[in-house]
């Protein structure tokens, strides 16, 4: 039976099993990977926080010849296949490395971290130094890795060499597990040393995976399927299991039945709908309902202490979201229009490729949609894809919030560039200049509210947030409620904005007149604080990316 105990952030399979913490059984993955037509090299790509590292820890425990894993696999699906376990469980020397922390400021910094990890792996296998099976020259080389006294080309060939000596000692081929293989590439592109890192990783992976006579199986995980020609050149019998692939589509991440199991054991079945709304929505291969494990476990853990706690965007805080920030920063008008469609919970049809390189992510629209799809910011919609395109949508409310918050920051950046000039014209009463500036801002920004009325009201209010002015929205003023009131007490001046949404561009003038009539009817100017020497009111009508502004006279 599934344990109700939750270990937040637990990525060690042994720790979860020995500590009797909740573990959703994904061990059937082993049979899928090692079926009759198995690859020599398998790459599994999934968004962050979907359990890739825990999966690799499980594989490590299952394969490693230096471990006895019978107890921690007891009761799980794979243990029922006794013949399979007799062939594979704890039968192979295994090398496991995670590259998730290779995030150096420079190539030298990242390389030093990488070498330190490699040194620890050789230290874990230091028993080789005492074996008569290993040649003295090889022992000297092992010691040089432990002492981190090797050249870069030695590091590039380190796993090939370790496979060789492990094979010599155990008389068994070696299994290599490389977790988050693409993290060094992603961060090197951010910090400006991508060419150095891609060359190093190409040499390292090439030596480890290509023509390695001592290799039984290699499994790699990451967020992106890096283009083969850029990093896996010459690696044959290579199979990728990405977000579009059917095989193992339900083996990483939580399915709907997995979530039901977690909720049932914690007596939280009544929370299924809100968990579905916030954390479901991913479609991997032919599995239509996939949840982010990190989010589900965090929220369930919170619910156990407070049944009324609200869901949070746990995923957004688990790593940087600069992919969205960069995408919006470099967006064209076409991309901005599609983002507006997505945040309105509609779908778009785009060509996507899962074969990318980190230095080309923002070079064209197809790459931008591809990176958002591969990293979990977008997923396949229920709508059938046509003409070689993929129907894409935002998967759930949590990811929608990431888009909205990032868009808000971008809108603020655009506003900050224009606010000084805009305010100057509000004080002067230059309605035409105000209109031109607002139209410029509207064209450069992205709508993010659920309807036009909400968006334009929020947009108008956001114009003055962060200025030293007093801004009130929809408060009592005069005989009615104007949309926005802006006051400058020190300058003894203020103005009122009444906003309207027009159904078409041709209807803008009528919308403005309606706003002016409302200002007059309800005497909005009387609602400005007493003692104001300068009082102005403006009627503004919006339609999509256009507005019309008129001064109340």
Is the distance from CB of 296 to CB of 305 less than 8 angstroms? no
167 and 312 in a single domain? The answer is no
For the cut 90, the answer to whether the pLDDT of residue 193 exceeds it is yes
**Number of separate domains in the chain:** 4
Give a yes or no: residue 400 inside a domain: no
Q: Same domain for 418 and 543? A: yes
**pLDDT higher than 90, residue 177:** yes
Q: How does strand 174-179 pair with strand 215-222?
A: parallel
Residues 271 and 362 in one domain: no
Model-level pTM greater than 0.75? yes
Question: Tokens standing for 495?
Answer: 């103005």
Angle at 63 between CA 57 and CA 66, to 5 degrees: 95
Both tokens assigned to 90: 């704890």
Give the span between the Cα atoms of 88 and 390, in whole angstroms.
39
Residue 474's pLDDT band, with cuts at 50, 70 and 90, is confident
| pLDDT exceeds cutoff 60 at 476 | no
Looking at residue 479, what is its pLDDT? 58
pLDDT, residue 298, reads 95
Predicted pLDDT at 26 = 97
pLDDT at 265 over 90: yes
pLDDT at position 475, please?
56
Residues 42, 142, single domain; the answer is yes
Per DSSP, the three-state class of 234 is: coil
486-500 residue pLDDT tens: 999 999 999 999 999
Q: Do 189 and 262 reside in the same domain of the chain?
A: no
Q: Are 494 and 531 in contact (CB under 8 A)?
A: no
Looking at residue 4, its pLDDT comes to: 93
CATH code where residue 210 lies: 3.40.50
pLDDT digit string (tens) for 337-367?
Answer: 899 899 988 999 999 887 777 777 677 778 8
SS3 412: helix
Of the CA atoms within 13 Å of residue 471, those in its CB half-sphere come to 16
In a domain, 465, yes or no: yes
pLDDT of residue 44: 95
Q: Is residue 405 part of a domain?
A: no
Q: 534-543 and 493-501: which strand pairing? A: parallel
**307, 330: one domain:** no
Q: What is the mean pLDDT of residues 22-34?
A: 95
Verify that 159 and 263 share a domain, yes or no.
Answer: no
Q: Are residues 229 and 258 in the same domain?
A: no
Q: Which of 300, 317, 334 is the last residue of a domain?
A: 317
Do 435 and 545 belong to one domain? Answer: yes
Domain assignment present for residue 246? The answer is no
| pLDDT on residue 62 | 98
201/175 same-domain check:
yes
- For residue 270, give every residue at least 6 positions away whose Cβ sits within 8 Å of its Cβ, in sequence order, or none: none
Tens of pLDDT along 295-312? 999 999 999 999 999 999
Is residue 516 over pLDDT 80?
yes
Asked if residue 318 has pLDDT above 70, the reply is no
On the CB side of 327, CA atoms within 13 Å amount to 27
Give residue 477's pLDDT: 53
Tell me if 141 sits within 8 A of 128, measured CB to CB.
Answer: no
Structural domain includes residue 204: yes
- Tens digit of each residue's pLDDT (9 = 90 or more) over 533-553: 899 999 999 998 899 999 998
pLDDT at residue 478 greater than cutoff 60: no
Question: How many other β-carbons are positioned within 10 Å of the β-carbon of residue 270?
Answer: 9
- Apex CA 338: angle with CA 334 and CA 343, to 5°? 150
CATH of the domain at 429: 3.40.1350
Q: Is the pLDDT of residue 335 over 90?
A: no
Looking at per-residue pLDDT, the higher value among 127 and 456 belongs to 127
pLDDT class of 35 with cuts at 50, 70, 90: confident
Residue 317 has pLDDT above 80, yes or no: no
Q: Which two tokens stand for residue 25?
A: 């059984």
Same structural domain, 232 and 345? no
β-pair type (174-179, 94-98): parallel
Residue 8 lies in a domain: no
Segment 217-264, tens digit of pLDDT: 999 999 888 766 678 877 777 889 999 999 999 999 999 999 999 999
Give dist(CA 253, CA 466) in Å, integer: 41
Q: What's the domain range around 282?
A: 254-317
- Mean pLDDT score of the chain, rounded to an integer? 91
Point out the domain boundary residue: 333, 365, 395.
395
Residue 534 lies in a domain: yes
Whether 20 maps to a domain, the answer reads: yes
Average pLDDT of the segment spanning 424-446: 93
Whether residue 272 is found in the same domain as residue 330: no
> Residues 6 or more apart from 150 whose CB is under 8 A from it?
115, 144, 158
Listed residues 295, 317, 339: the one ending a domain: 317
């Amino acid at each position: 039976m599934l344990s109700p105990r939750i270990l937040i952030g637990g990525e060690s399979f042994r720790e979860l099993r020995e500590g009797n913490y909740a573990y959703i059984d994904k061990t059937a993955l082993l049979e899928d990977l090692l079926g009759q037509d198995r690859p020599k090299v398998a790459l599994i790509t999934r968004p962050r926080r979907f359990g890739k590292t825990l999966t690799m820890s499980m594989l490590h425990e299952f394969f490693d010849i230096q471990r006895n894993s019978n107890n921690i696999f007891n009761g799980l699906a794979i243990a029922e296949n006794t013949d399979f376990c007799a062939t594979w469980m704890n039968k192979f020397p295994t090398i496991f490395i995670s590259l998730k922390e290779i995030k150096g400021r420079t190539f030298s910094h990242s390389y030093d971290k990488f070498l330190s990890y490699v040194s620890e792996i050789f230290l874990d296998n230091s028993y080789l130094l005492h074996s008569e099976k290993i040649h003295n020259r090889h022992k000297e080389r092992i010691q040089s890795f432990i002492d981190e006294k090797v050249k870069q080309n030695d590091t590039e060939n380190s796993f090939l060499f370790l496979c060789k000596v492990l094979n010599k000692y155990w008389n068994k081929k070696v299994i290599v597990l490389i977790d988050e293989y693409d993290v060094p590439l992603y961060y090197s592109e951010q910090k400006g040393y991508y060419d150095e890192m891609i060359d190093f990783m190409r040499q390292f992976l090439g030596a480890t995976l290509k023509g390695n006579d001592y290799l039984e199986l290699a499994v790699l995980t990451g967020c992106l399927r890096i283009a083969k020609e850029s990093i896996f050149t010459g690696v044959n019998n290579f199979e990728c299991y990405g977000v579009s692939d059917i095989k193992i589509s339900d083996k990483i991440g939580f399915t709907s039945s997995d979530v039901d199991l977690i909720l049932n054991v914690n007596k939280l079945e009544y929370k299924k709908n809100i968990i579905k709304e916030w954390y479901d929505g991913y479609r991997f291969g032919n599995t239509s309902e996939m949840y982010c494990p990190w989010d589900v476990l965090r929220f369930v853990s919170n619910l156990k202490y407070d049944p009324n706690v609200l869901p949070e965007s746990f995923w957004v805080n688990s790593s940087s979201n600069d992919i969205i920030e960069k995408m919006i920063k470099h967006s064209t008008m076409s991309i901005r229009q599609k983002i507006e469609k997505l945040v309105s919970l509609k779908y778009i049809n785009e060509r996507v490729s899962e074969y990318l390189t980190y230095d080309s992510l923002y070079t064209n629209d197809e790459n931008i949609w591809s990176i958002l799809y591969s990293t979990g910011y977008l997923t396949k919609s229920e709508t059938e894809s046509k003409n070689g395109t993929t129907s894409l949508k935002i998967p759930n409310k949590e990811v929608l919030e990431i888009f909205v918050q990032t868009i808000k920051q971008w809108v603020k950046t655009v506003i900050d560039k224009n606010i000084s000039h805009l305010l100057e014209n509000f004080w002067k009463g230059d309605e035409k200049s105000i209109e031109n500036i607002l139209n410029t801002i509207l064209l450069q920004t992205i709508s993010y509210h659920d309807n036009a009325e909400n968006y334009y009201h929020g947009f108008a209010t956001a114009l003055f947030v962060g200025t030293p002015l007093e801004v009130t929205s929809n408060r009592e003023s005069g005989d009615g409620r104007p949309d926005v009131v802006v006051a400058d007490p020190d300058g003894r001046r203020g103005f009122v904005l009444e906003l309207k949404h027009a159904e078409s561009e041709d209807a803008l003038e009528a919308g403005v007149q309606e706003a002016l009539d409302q200002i007059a009817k309800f005497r909005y100017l009387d609602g400005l604080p007493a003692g104001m020497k300068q009082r102005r009111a403006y009627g503004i009508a919006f339609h999509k990316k256009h507005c019309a502004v008129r001064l109340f006279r």
